[in-house]
Amino acid sequence: ANQLLADQPDWLSRLGCQYHWHNRGYRDFQDFLDSLMSRKRKQLRKEREPVMQSGFEFDRYLGYQLREDQWDFVYTCYANTYAVRGQRPYLTRDFFSLLAERMPQNIVVVIARLQQQPAAMAFYLRDSNALYGRYWGCL
């Protein structure tokens, strides 16, 4: 019945989905894994293995912890996601500086390093309960 409704010309199809994760007081990742059924635990470990073997290392920073050269890297990666499609980025480097100045406690950046060199990043905004949005990019 739902599919019949969804096929009507005035309905729009959803092209994506979101997953919401809630920390139920887990002390660490292992504590989270321990809460899962054995099959799910095994699947998660299997999915994570290629990342572990890739040689990437990840560092997480709050906005006030980032140096200017790291902000430059964040912007370069962000802008590159547009450049590869021949587009100009919507946000400017100055925008990121303004965010860092005005709301550093609400910024989370993850920088991925390969052989000690920055290779990729993810940029989030946060409040006391959640992470929002995510810009990402790589060189």
Contact 134, 122 (CB under 8 A): yes
Q: Residue range 55-71: average pLDDT?
A: 97
The 10s digit of each residue's pLDDT in 24-38 is: 999 999 999 999 999
- Cβ-based neighbour number of residue 112 at 10 Å: 19
- Residue 14 confidence (pLDDT) above 70: no
How much is the pTM?
0.77
The residues that bridge with 27 in the sheet, in sequence order, are none
- Listed by start position, the domains of the chain span 2-138
CA–CA–CA angle 43, 53, 133 (5° rounding): 70
Which pLDDT band holds residue 17 (cuts at 50, 70, 90)? confident
* Dist. CA 114–CA 72, nearest whole Å: 18
- Residue 2 confidence (pLDDT) above 90: no
| Domain with residues 2-138, CATH architecture | 3-Layer(aba) Sandwich (3.40)
**Which residue is listed with tokens 């790291």?**
70
